[in-house]
Structure 1
Amino acid sequence: MLDRIDTSPQFIGNILFSDETTFYLSGFVNRHNVRIWGSQNPHVYREHIRDSPKLNVWCGLMKDRIIGPFFFGEATAYGSVYLHMLEQFLYPQVADLQPNIIFQQDGASPHWGLDVPRPLNATIQDRWTGRGGPIRWPPHSPDLTPLDFFLWVYVKDRVFVTPVNDFPDLRARILETIATVPMDMLERTWQEIEYRLDIVRATNGANVKIY
């Protein structure tokens, strides 16, 4: 992937990053999985209510837009559920951007089961990156994924600033927060991605912590 970025400066600007996260109705935020970056008002950790009802959410992130959110109806996003989201929600929204976008997904198990790569190859062909994809993506690299180091932290900091009443309230807060992300934040996020890729180059891909 770095070779493509080095030979084609516009490559990084064409990447559609994607990721899912879980919102717990209790307000619990898993700070181990969500990297903190750009949070101006870190809030007090909330007690995790065991077996709290949860909502799984997907988003796509580009340099100039956010695609989503998409709310999964199931508690767990299996491969068939994820594929349905791609076919019914994502593909229609990016049809006008083809063949320029590069679709990125991480190595989560729903993303690389037999249900998903074949349709991806048929629809996006050689323009997707992730486990088993035609463009290699470094495994276990949430620090390179802007939804992990920026978007989900930004959204959860604002959604859970006060207790959530119920699922309709939770969905409404997520929708409003994502719809109002300032465009200059996306631009600065892409600058941050380029900085992080520079670190990857300088360390020859070694595992490092970025703060």
Structure 2
Amino acid sequence: MNGMDVDDMWFQQDGATCHTSNATIAILNGKFEGMVISRRGDVNWPPRSCDLTPLDFFLWGFLKSQVYADKPKSTDDLKVNITQAIAQIQPYLCGRVIENWTTRIRATMRSRGGHLNDIKFKT
């Protein structure tokens, strides 16, 4: 991330213990001051909400299906497949994922989910 302009970028991660250690949170706060969405971050991501996280409800499963389609035989093959699968993600696909995510957020709001006070929307 060195050399990247992250001044207007939010960083989101899940609540895994290794992701929320004091050392990790300190690094993230230094790089994304005031813009960390995580357990113990600036915005507390709702616990156990994989249905609200596009990386969890779509991207990891999609990439896994692409990466392992030809059953890589070595670590080098795996790395090549990962690089190729990520490079093949098209902008329209990302747009569809965001549309689906918006639908999930609206459904959560309609159900009056108690954790919604912790969600901040940023455009």
TM-score by length of 1: 0.51
Point out where structure 2 has 5 or more consecutive residues left out of the alignment: 115-123
CA distance in 1 between counterparts of 2:51 and 2:30 reads 29
Deviation >6 Å, runs of 4+: none
Deviations 1:27-66 (A, max 9, x none): xxxxxxxxxxxxxxxxxxxxxxxxxxxxxxxxxxxxxxxx
Q: 2:50 aligns with which of 131, 142, 146?
A: 142
Report the equivalent of 2:118.
none
- Find the aligned partners of 1:123 and 1:170 in 2 and give their Cα distance: 30
Residue number among 76, 80, 85 corresponding to 1:177 in the alignment: 85
Change (3 A) 1:170 1:133: same
Structure whose residues are more often helix by fraction: 2
- Structure 2 partner of 1:187: 95
Paired residues, number = 114
**In 1, distance between residues paired with 2:63 and 2:26?**
32
Q: Which residue of 2 aligns with 1:165?
A: 73
1: CA distance, partners of 2:29 / 2:19: 13
Structure 1 gaps of 5+ residues are: 1-90, 207-211
Matched, 1:132 2:23: no
State the partner residue of 2:119: none
Match of 1:32 in 2: none
More strand by percentage: 1
Partner of 2:113: 205
- Tell me the distance in 2 between the aligned counterparts of 1:163 and 1:120: 35
After superposition, give the CA deviation of every residue in 1:126-165 in whole Å (9 maximum; x if it has no partner). Answer: 1111111111210111111111111111112122222221
Following superposition, the deviation at residue 92 of structure 1 comes to 2.3
1:120 deviates by: 1.8
CA distance in 2, matches of 1:119, 1:156: 28
Choose the corresponding residue for 1:108, options 11, 16, 34.
16
- Give the whole-Å Cα distance in 1 for the aligned partners of 2:94 and 2:2: 22
**2: CA distance between counterparts of 1:101 and 1:163?**
35
| Bigger RCO of structures 1 and 2 (CA < 8 A, at least 6 apart) | 1
> Within 5 Å, which residues of 2 pair with 1:4-153?
91-92=1-2, 95-96=4-5, 98-153=6-61
Q: How large is the RMSD of aligned CA atoms in angstroms?
A: 1.5
How far did 1:166 drift?
A: 0.9
SS in structure 1 of the partner of residue 2 of structure 2: helix
User: Percent of aligned pairs with the same residue?
Assistant: 32
